[in-house]
Amino acid sequence: QVHLVASGGGSVQSGGSLRLSCVASGDTHTRYCMGWFRQAPGKEREGVAAIDSYGVTAYAESVKGRFTISQDNAKSPLLLQMNAMKPEDTAMYYCAALPPSSADCLSLRFYDYHYRGQGTQVTVSS
Predicted pLDDT at 116 = 95
For strand 120-125 and strand 91-98, is the pairing parallel, antiparallel, or unpaired?
Answer: antiparallel
What is the per-residue pLDDT across 17-41, written as a single tens digit (0 to 9) for each? Answer: 999 999 999 887 889 999 999 999 9
Angle at 47 between CA 45 and CA 53, to 5 degrees: 140
Predicted pLDDT at 42 = 94
Residues of the chain with pLDDT under 70: none
Predicted pLDDT at 34 = 97
The answer to whether 18 touches 8, Cβ cutoff 8 Å, is yes
Kindly compute the dihedral angle of the four CA atoms of residues 57, 61, 67, 73, in this order, to the nearest 10 degrees: -10
Strand partners for 26? 2
